Amino acid sequence: MPVTKTLDFETFAKRMDAWASERDTKRGRLVRAFRKNLGDRHDYQAARLALLIKEAETAW
């Protein structure tokens, strides 16, 4: 299933899994915050997801 025109969900999920273990990076903290749903707000989750997708498209 495509997330964007250039990124499929499987690839995106693999990148998120790899980033989750990065302790001192912005994207590592962002993945962990997304998975924990910090703040329990839909607008924050949407913003986190958008940032993660953007990072996944440009990082690799």
Hey, where are the domains in the chain? 9-59
Q: Is 31 exposed, middle or buried (0-12, 13-18, 19+ CB in 10 A)?
A: buried
Q: Return the pLDDT at 23.
A: 92
Asked if 34 and 26 touch (Cβ cutoff 8 Å), the reply is no
Residue listed under structure tokens 């913003």: 47
What is the rounded end-to-end Cα distance, in angstroms, of the chain?
19
- Quick check: 36 pLDDT over 90? yes
- Quick check: 7 pLDDT over 80? yes
Q: Return the pLDDT at 4.
A: 72
35 φ, ψ to 5°?
-70, -30
Query: Looking at the whole model, is its pTM more than 0.85?
Result: no
By percentage, how much of the chain surpasses pLDDT 70? Answer: 92
